[in-house]
Amino acid sequence: MIRDDAHVDLETWELFQSAMETGSLLQSSRMTGVSPSTVSRRLKRLEDLLELQLFYRDNTGVYPTAAGKSVLAQIRPILNEINEIRSSITKDDFQLNGDFLVYLDTVLCCPLILEFFWSLESKFPRLFFDFFTSRLDYSIQAVPDVFLELTLTKKADATTVAEIPSVTVASPVYLEEKGLPQSPEDLIDHDVVTFGKEENLHRATFWSSGTRISIPFVPTVCYRNATSALASALRGQAIALPVPLMLAAAHINKGELVNVFPSFSSPTFFLQIQFAQKLQNHFIAPYLVEEMKKWIKSFLPATEP
């Protein structure tokens, strides 16, 4: 039993838990940033205060006694609760602050993305976002607290934050006039719009039953972003591919667009988030990543269980 005049601080309890779980004072030292001699001294003082032997010690490490296991079982739920409180505090609005410089890939420069950031500004008044969409427009006037880069990429080595399915869509009016393609190869006989920087040869890639199908084609028009390609499809001018499903879902649900290849799936886009930040804002980028995941998920249609 701890004496009435004794006090065990939180760091000592965390050192105790770390040593119990790793069986090594050195590993505990590395995990907590406290020197091995300090870890040893703190644990010995804890044993003296509890008047219990918590560890067996030898040249290879430390091993919990029955008393040590009993104490850990009682203290672990408390430490877990403290860590949950710490985690929730880092997401509180009084700590979410700073100036953000945000690079948006032109593919992602659409009202939905901007509304997401504006909603964050409304929720957290001390967050400020400044956007640019072209590397040529980038001229830094002051060092931001956080630099955030949002890009859609198909690179295999991309850091995947979220996966965004893409679809090939057309308006019912266009399909009634031109006919519904029965396979990706049939796209060659249709007006097809896409987005990107290249206006010449493109390849449309699809998957069916695990088979990769890649079709070369020359787009009727190559727009700068997916929103423009989608607008062309809505006007009945062409088939648009590949459009992020989050942009097209509402129009498909309203019957304004038809998924041209419901039995095929276009490649998935990967939303890559890169960030550089000042040390005091280390908690903001992970928070934004989680918010982006939830935001993207909210725009995807619900799947059947």
* Cα–Cα distance measured from residue 131 to residue 115, given in angstroms and rounded to the nearest whole number: 13
40-44, 67-71, 148-152: the lowest-pLDDT one: 148-152
Indicate whether 305 pLDDT > 50: no
Max intra-chain CA distance, the chain: 88
What are the tens digits of pLDDT across the range 56-67? 988 878 889 999
Distance (Å) of CA 245 to CA 20, 37, 128, 175: 49, 57, 29, 19
Bridge partner list, 265: 207
CB 274 within 8 Å of CB 153: no
CB 254 within 8 Å of CB 141: no
* Cα–Cα distance measured from residue 264 to residue 267, given in angstroms and rounded to the nearest whole number: 10
CB 217 within 8 Å of CB 192: yes
Average pLDDT over residues 181-188: 88
CB 260 within 8 Å of CB 190: no
Provide the token pair at 34: 């406290």
DSSP assignment of 71-123 equals HHHHHHHHHHHHHHHHHHHHTSTTT--EEEEEEE-GGG-SHHHHHHHHHHHHH
Residue recorded with tokens 């009993």: 70
Indicate whether 19 pLDDT > 60: yes
Bridge partner list, 61: 58
CB 234 within 8 Å of CB 256: yes
- Of 232 and 300, the structure prediction assigns the larger pLDDT to 232
* Cα–Cα distance measured from residue 102 to residue 91, given in angstroms and rounded to the nearest whole number: 20
Burial 176-195 (b: 16+ CB within 10 A, else e): eeeeebeebeebeebbbbbb
Long-range contacts of 210-218 (CB under 8 A, 24+ apart): 213/184, 213/185, 213/264, 215/184, 215/185, 215/187, 215/188, 217/187, 217/188, 217/192
Indicate whether 93 pLDDT > 50: no
Backbone dihedral angles phi then psi of residue 277, each to the nearest 5 degrees: -155, 160
Burial 35-61 (b: 16+ CB within 10 A, else e): eeeebbebbeebbebbebebbeeeeeb
Average pLDDT over residues 110-135: 75
* Cα–Cα distance measured from residue 62 to residue 22, given in angstroms and rounded to the nearest whole number: 9
pTM above 0.85, yes or no: no
Distance (Å) of CA 170 to CA 178, 202, 253: 11, 18, 13
Provide the token pair at 234: 């809505």
pLDDT band at 136 (very low <50, low <70, confident <90, very high): low
Please provide the average confidence, as pLDDT, over all residues in the chain: 78
Average pLDDT over residues 207-218: 83
Bridging pattern class, strands 202-208 and 211-217: antiparallel
157-161, 168-172, 241-245: the lowest-pLDDT one: 157-161
Say what the pLDDT of residue 116 is. Answer: 74
In the chain, the percentage of residues whose pLDDT exceeds 90 is: 17
Say what the pLDDT of residue 188 is. Answer: 87
Bridging pattern class, strands 239-244 and 202-208: unpaired
pLDDT band at 283 (very low <50, low <70, confident <90, very high): low
What are the tens digits of pLDDT across the range 233-275? 999 999 999 888 878 888 999 999 999 988 888 877 777 776 6
Indicate whether 27 pLDDT > 60: yes
pLDDT band at 178 (very low <50, low <70, confident <90, very high): very high
